[in-house]
Structure 1
Amino acid sequence: MESRELVTLAAQACDEKRAQDIVVLDMADVSLIADYFVICEGSNERQVQAIAREVKAQAEENGMEVKRMEGFEQARWVLIDLNGVVCHIFHKDERHYYNLERLWGDADTVFVEGLEN
């Protein structure tokens, strides 16, 4: 699966669990870390964990390896490394503090069709 397909899958998995303010950044020209970032938030710890579980499950169901998942227990900022796509799932209170969209402001925002949020 290519990074563009994987980022769509991850963003839609976030959307399925009602993640809020889903943003996809094209990181290819601004960072060596990943091709794309998916950034979203949940309203509480349980929702953050549910979103993370869904992203992981969808990736694995489609034959993708989850290289790393960090922060799941605390559920304040869960990072899921999907090898080319990094999914950042924030608790709503943490997202504004870290403000990754501003930090990586040189990255283009990518439209993902079918997202409700």
Structure 2
Amino acid sequence: MEETKQLVETITDGIQDKKGQDIVIADLQKIDGAIAKYFVICQGQSPTQVEAIAESIGDKVREHLHEKPVNVAGLGTDQWIAIDFVDVMVHVFLPEVRKFYDLENLWEDAQLTKIPNIA
């Protein structure tokens, strides 16, 4: 369990390193049939920033925890990149795509933690 929390913290660091914004951590552990223990959702202001955030997450996790994602989807379109670390799913969006899919409210029973933006 501690490893999963460490993974979430490392992912959050990777997002903040590239100035990703509006980070929300959704705790899905009490939800039956959830595909992961946590969702980490954030956004970048441009396709370039979305890709940079995704790369930063991968680099940080590899560097600090010696883990790699089992899958990464959306690279190349850079509107929504999903990074699958099995227990933790990361979603990096452009703002309008994030608003459209509204993942935070899709899992309304999840406990949501909002991380303040770094100025």
Q: TM-score higher than 0.5 here?
A: yes
Deviation at 1:110, TM superposition (A): 3.2
Choose the corresponding residue for 1:50, options 41, 49, 52: 52
Choose the corresponding residue for 2:40, options 38, 41, 50: 38
After superposition, the CA RMSD in angstroms is 1.7
Letter matched to residue 37 of structure 1? F
SS of equivalent to 1:110: strand
Match of 2:24 in 1: 23
Conserved? CA contact 1:25–1:110, under 8 Å: yes
Counterpart check, 1:72 vs 2:86: no
SS of equivalent to 1:37: strand
CA distance change for structure 1 residues 93 and 115 in 2, over 3 Å: closer, same or farther? closer
| Structure 2 unpaired stretches of 5+ | none
Match of 2:93 in 1: 90
SS of equivalent to 2:58: helix
Letter matched to residue 74 of structure 2? G
**Structure 2-normalised TM-score?**
0.90
Choose the corresponding residue for 1:116, options 99, 115, 118: 118
Deviation at 1:29, TM superposition (A): 1.1
Letter matched to residue 79 of structure 2? R
Match of 1:12 in 2: 13
**Misfit runs of 4+, over 3 Å:** none
CA distance change for structure 1 residues 10 and 115 in 2, over 3 Å: closer, same or farther? farther
Number of matched residues?
A: 116
| 1:33-82 Cα shifts (integer Å, max 9, x gaps) | 11111000011100000000000111111211211100011001100011
SS of equivalent to 1:2: helix
**Structure 1-normalised TM-score?**
0.91
| Structure 1 unpaired stretches of 5+ | none
CA distance in 2, matches of 1:2, 1:81: 15
